[in-house]
Amino acid sequence: MRFTKLRLTGFKSFVDPTDLIIARGLTGVVGPNGCGKSNLLEALRWVMGENRPTAMRGGGMEDVIFAGAASRPARNFAEVCLTIDNSDRLAPAGYNDSDHLDIVRRITRDVGSAYKVNGKDTRARDVQMLFADASTGSTSPALVRQGQISELINAKPKNRRRVLEDAAGIGGLYQRRHEAELK
Ligand code: ATP
Ligand code: MG
């Protein structure tokens, strides 16, 4: 399973559809301050189910929608599509009938977020679980935010254990146990 493409439409500063091709090996994103480098990483987190506006540097989730510029009116929706190469068929159970997965999240003003996996409506929780079971996701230790290293050093042992659990790919089990305990 490998991320191959991220497509942003109306997401933050990316008003026109923009593809980020994620090739094998290392992909670097360079550009002047404010050109949208961090927005790309936030789009990746968001499509994997991030639900905290603060993690998107916003006050509300709709702040991810292109807010308009001098020459362009604001948009009514934002959409991010993450394409995953699944030719090795290593996707978690239930998602293994195709060589690729297209995970789409769209937010529409006054309506909210909706997800699709290969064109099929999917619940937010199931998308989050899909990534958790694949040892990744919006809280994955593979995505390192500014300040996160010092947070980790200062974290309580219990929180630090969560990071290890996520890295080991058992975050999904942790979530399922939590939900079972609530029932
Ligand atoms: P730096 O090098 O300073 O870290 P960066 O390349 O990471 O910069 P970002 O923080 O990704 O830049 O992009 C910030 C830009 O995105 C700003 O110009 C901001 O106005 C724009 N932006 C953020 N949210 C929206 C939005 N909803 N609509 C339009 N533009 C937005
Ligand atoms: Mg930045």
ipTM confidence score: 0.98
Please choose from 11, 38, 66, 79 the residue to mutate so as to test ligand 1's pocket, defined by most ligand atoms within 8 A of CB: 38
pLDDT in the model for residue 165? 82
Q: How far is the CA of 53 from the centre of ligand 1 (A)?
A: 15
Over the stretch 37-86, which tens digit does the pLDDT of each residue have? Answer: 999 999 999 999 999 998 899 999 999 999 999 999 999 999 999 999 99
Q: Which numbered atom of ligand 1 lies nearest the CA of 64?
A: 27
Specify the length of the chain in residues.
Answer: 183
pLDDT at res. 148? 81
Q: Is residue 133 helix, strand or coil?
A: helix
Q: What DSSP character marks residue 54?
A: G
Known binding residue 35? Answer is yes
How many whole angstroms from 54 Cα to the centroid of ligand 2? 15
CB environment 38-75: b (16+ within 10 A), e (fewer): ebbebbbbbbbbbeeeeebeeeebbebbbeeeeeeeeb
Q: What is the pTM of this model?
A: 0.87
Range of the domain at 117: 2-182
Q: Which ligand is nearest to the CA of 58?
A: 1
The CATH number for 138's domain is: 3.40.50.300
User: Measured between alpha carbons, how far is residue 34 from residues 39, 40, 42, 75, 110 in Å?
Assistant: 9, 12, 14, 20, 28
Domain count, the chain: 1
